[in-house]
């Protein structure tokens, strides 16, 4: 089952369209969830205080509109809705317990390129164990290639599996991006450094990681993209016209978005296309 969280915003509608399309491709049910945020209402009140009917009616309206949109876009999809109360950052992870994927919209703040990501979206990407797809209101073509980040860590394996499956389902090409940077000591003039050797080693990293998946997904056309750049710059540039950007998470922190690695966190801030964060 795919879960999509909705709040009635433009980004939320984009998330519903994305989730409905993915549910149809995977032939799995879609559940649309709206969380009536009670945190502001219960300030100074008892925890069991009754919510006004107007809040619940507004939530039902958000769900009804989202369901109509999903059915309009994917008439054959199996769609259900659920209204829950509480804090969205707490309730959506609970709803996603048995889900194969959680999709949310991002209402980023700020008026500059790479505007800040909404706090709920960032929290979910750091705490939910299934893949979390963050969709901005600015929807690009879903037919673009799939871009996935590749490195030599075990955390990228689940991201690769997800990316290959998405490419197969969409009939889309896959671009595997590996960014390399010289170590700091490489810039010391007294230490010789063979750039060709670094490039060759980087390319081998990609090929070693792709070997098994390319065998299992022979129908997916894969491009090996090795760049001398910072990973965030390489991934966001490669995904300018992509249908989806997939990253793994190396986060090992204990609080908030520290559970996301720095690359995942910054890609979520700056990428224009939908981003899937796949945790190990």
Greatest Cα pair distance, the chain, in angstroms, is: 74
With b meaning 16 or more CB within 10 Å and e meaning fewer, what string describes 199-218? Answer: eeebeebbeebbeebeeebe
- Distance of alpha carbon 202 from alpha carbon 50, whole angstroms: 59
Q: Which residue did the predictor score with more confidence, 187 or 114?
A: 187
Closest CA to 4 of 80, 108, 109: 80
Do 102 and 132 form a contact (C-beta atoms < 8 A)?
Answer: yes
Q: Which residue did the predictor score with more confidence, 276 or 97?
A: 276
Whole-number pLDDT of residue 184? 52
What are the two backbone dihedrals, phi and then psi, of residue 79, each rounded to the nearest 5 degrees? Answer: -120, 130
Q: Which segment of 168-182, 201-215, 229-243 scores lowest on mean pLDDT? A: 201-215
Whole-number pLDDT of residue 26? 95
Six-digit token string for 104? 């949310």
What are the two backbone dihedrals, phi and then psi, of residue 153, each rounded to the nearest 5 degrees? Answer: -100, 155
Whole-number pLDDT of residue 27? 95
pLDDT greater than 70 at residue 113: no
Q: Is the dihedral of CA 23, 259, 113, 233 positive or negative?
A: negative
Mean pLDDT across 35-39: 80
- Distance of alpha carbon 230 from alpha carbon 211, whole angstroms: 24
38-77 pLDDT tens trace: 765 555 555 555 667 777 888 899 999 999 999 999 998 9
Domain boundaries, the chain: 1-139, 140-280
Angle at 9 between CA 7 and CA 12, to 5 degrees: 70
CATH code for residues 1-139: 3.40.50.620
Whole-number pLDDT of residue 198? 64
Whole-number pLDDT of residue 263? 81
- Of all residues in the chain, the percent with pLDDT exceeding 70 is 77
Six-digit token string for 256? 């908030």
Class of domain 140-280: alpha beta
In this chain, the answer to whether the domains covering 1-139 and 140-280 adopt an identical fold is yes
- Distance of alpha carbon 5 from alpha carbon 130, whole angstroms: 14
Whole-number pLDDT of residue 19? 96
Six-digit token string for 63? 């769900």
Mean pLDDT across 93-117: 67
Q: Count other C-beta atoms under 10 Å from residue 142's C-beta.
A: 15
């Amino acid at each position: 089952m795919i879960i999509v969280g909705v709040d009635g915003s433009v980004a939320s509608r984009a998330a519903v369209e994305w989730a409905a399309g993915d549910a149809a491709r995977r032939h799995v049910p879609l559940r649309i969830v709206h969380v009536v945020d009670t945190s502001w209402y219960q300030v100074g009140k008892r925890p069991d205080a009754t919510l006004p009917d107007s809040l619940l009616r507004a939530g039902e309206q958000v769900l009804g509109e989202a369901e109509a949109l999903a059915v309009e876009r994917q008439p054959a999809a199996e769609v259900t809705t659920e209204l829950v109360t509480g804090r969205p950052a707490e309730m959506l992870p609970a709803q996603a317990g048995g889900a194969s994927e959680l999709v949310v919209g991002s209402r980023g703040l700020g008026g500059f390129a790479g505007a800040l990501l909404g706090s709920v979206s960032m929290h979910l990407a750091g705490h939910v164990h299934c893949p979390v797809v963050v969709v901005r209101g600015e929807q690009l073509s879903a037919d673009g290639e799939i871009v996935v980040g590749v490195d030599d860590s075990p955390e990228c394996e689940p991201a690769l599996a997800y990316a290959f499956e998405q490419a197969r389902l969409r009939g889309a090409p896959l671009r595997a991006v590996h960014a390399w940077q010289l170590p700091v000591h490489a810039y010391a003039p007294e230490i010789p450094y063979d750039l060709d050797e670094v490039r060759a080693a980087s390319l081998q990293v990609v090929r070693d990681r792709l070997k098994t998946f390319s065998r299992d997904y022979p129908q997916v056309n894969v491009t090996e993209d090795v760049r001398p750049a910072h990973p965030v710059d390489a991934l966001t540039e490669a995904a300018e016209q992509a249908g989806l950007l997939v990253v793994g998470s190396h986060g090992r922190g204990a609080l908030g978005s520290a559970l996301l690695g720095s690359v995942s966190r910054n890609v979520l801030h700056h990428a224009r296309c939908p981003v899937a964060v796949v945790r190990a």
